[in-house]
Amino acid sequence: MKKVISLLGMILLCCGISYATKVSITDNWKFTPSDSENFASSGLDDSKWRTVSIPHTWNDKDIIDEQRGYRRAASWYRKHLNIPLEMKGRKIVLLFEGVGSKADVYLNGEHLKTHMGAYTAFTVDITGHCKFGEKNILAVRADNSSSLGEVLPPVSGDFSMLGGIYRRVFLQTYHPVHFDFEPYASTPVLVQTPVVSEESAQVKLSCRIKNDADKNSKLSLVFALLDKEGKVVSRKKMKVKVDVGQSLPVDLEMASVNNPHLWSPDSPYLYTLKATIVDDKEGTLLQEVDSPLGFRWFSVDKTGFYLNGEYLKLRGAARHQDYWGLGAAIPSEINYQDMKLLKEMGANFIRISHYPQDPEIYRACDELGLVAWSEICIVNEVKKNETFALNSAEMLKEMIYQNYNHPSVVMWGAMNELWDYHDEAIRLAKELERIKKELDPYRLSCVAFHAFTWEKPYKQNSKEMFNISDINAVNVYESWYHGNFSTIAPMFDKFRNYSENKPRFLSEFGAGSDERVHTYSPRTFDFSPEFQLAFNREYINQMESRPDYVGY
């Protein structure tokens, strides 16, 4: 901890108190796999608790042992924070990139925030609650109890809902006048590229300037778009006045970029948007943020997917965030490496399934050139209560606002393999579709169906579900869980009939294998690599012969 504080002090001395800082606080956390309200107390002796580093999950071992099930309950984390006296007068904010599944955050015994959802980031403003130059006790109750499924997706799934502070935590400081990131831990400046061609590209920006100071502020806002070599290709400057307590919305359009470098899987060219806030009276730089920007345009219809005006078959994989021996507590470099391996395999696409993942995944997709489908974790079931619907909507907003500027993201998803399209599920699907289009009208929406759920008699609403999103996808496991090679093509034909008016996508398929098992006569579910190879060839051949399927 002393090293972290020393680093904070050096940053403050070098930059002055006007600049923003972001420092990871990942070491020397105390952990106990038990639950008590007393654990939030600043006077508690936690010296006998286990010392852990973040990212951390308590399910790293029981998820792979020989015993059925894994621990789903509440646990506590505590950290002693010494916040330098030099930070007084700053805005002090904690950023949690992911806590599974419900988080309650306390500082010095005071409850400051509850966050619902394991897969999106959240912030906690501790400015008025911390002690400067003294010890602060940060306590976090993390809960992955199965009972949360009544009010919080996912209810269930073919993946594990692991507990813990399993992504990074940062201590951030800002000038009291800053880009507003609340209430969804949003990227500070939202970038849209509504019209792009080989000749020119439009850039629209949207942000809010928050004044948490004790006086009104006159500011200069400067937005500069830099190419890969650092050359400014478009620039916009404006003056604003922000009153005390105000969060001022700012929307503007920059000068068009002529002959833009286009982003694609073959050439993932990235620009950088640099946005700054300058105090007019003092001439002081208050905040500077950088964001990736990629120019591309895309469309989809029943003939397939088109990127920058050219037909592109999307080929890739679906990816979960679990790792052997680590659970979901994966170092960022491993997340990035997974995307490199996918790219080296020859893929141009990833389904980030079934939940938003580590920020490194999205950064890697931008830099490596992987078209991405990002989705929230409504899997299998929609509960029939308002709290479930509200938490789902909030989760969707967090995913979109936090990943808005990534050019790799082309599709937003919300639902996967629902078993029952009851009236509440239909209403929620329509509401989530409305949110997607309201927040981000330029990206596509998608939904993934199970290959059989729409056919059962009690699924009378399934046809309505087929008409909500831009793209209908299907998870097909013919010749694995059921059927054989001869039933694969008829299933794709049947889905085309159900989704006649929408583009289609093969969102899941697969067969397991065990490298210890080999056979000269491969057959369904024998777990031989020989069958897996034949299985994959059959599906790939089917997809390559069906241009109406956007990808697989």
Q: H/E element holding 221?
A: strand 217-226
* Beta bridge partners of residue 173, listed in sequence order: 21, 92
Which two tokens mark 450? 């199970």
CB atoms within 10 A of CB 279: 17
Task: Output the CA torsion sign for 228, 231, 236, 242.
Answer: positive
Check: CB of residue 111 under 8 Å from CB of residue 104. yes
**Are the C-beta atoms of 205 and 223 separated by less than 8 Å?**
yes
- For the record, the structure tokens of 233 come out as 């290709």
Tokens, residue 166: 């399993």
The residue among 144, 148, 140, 147 whose CA lies nearest residue 163 is: 144
- Dig out the tokens for 130 from the structure: 């911390």
Phi-psi region of 515 (alpha: psi -120 to 50; beta: other; left: phi over 0): alpha
User: By the 8 A CB rule, do 152 and 143 touch?
Assistant: no
- Enumerate the β-bridge partners of residue 138: 79, 107
328 phi and psi angles, rounded to 5 deg: -95, 0
The verdict on whether 417 is a catalytic residue reads yes
Neighbours of 230 (CB within 10 A): 8
Please tell me the distance from the alpha carbon of residue 294 to that of residue 409, in angstroms, as a whole number: 11
Nearest to 451 by CA among 425, 488, 501: 488
Q: Could you tell me where the beta strands, DSSP code E, fall in 83-197?
A: 91-96, 102-107, 110-116, 122-125, 135-143, 169-174, 177-179, 190-192
Catalytic residue among 417, 433, 478, 508: 417
Catalytic residues: 417
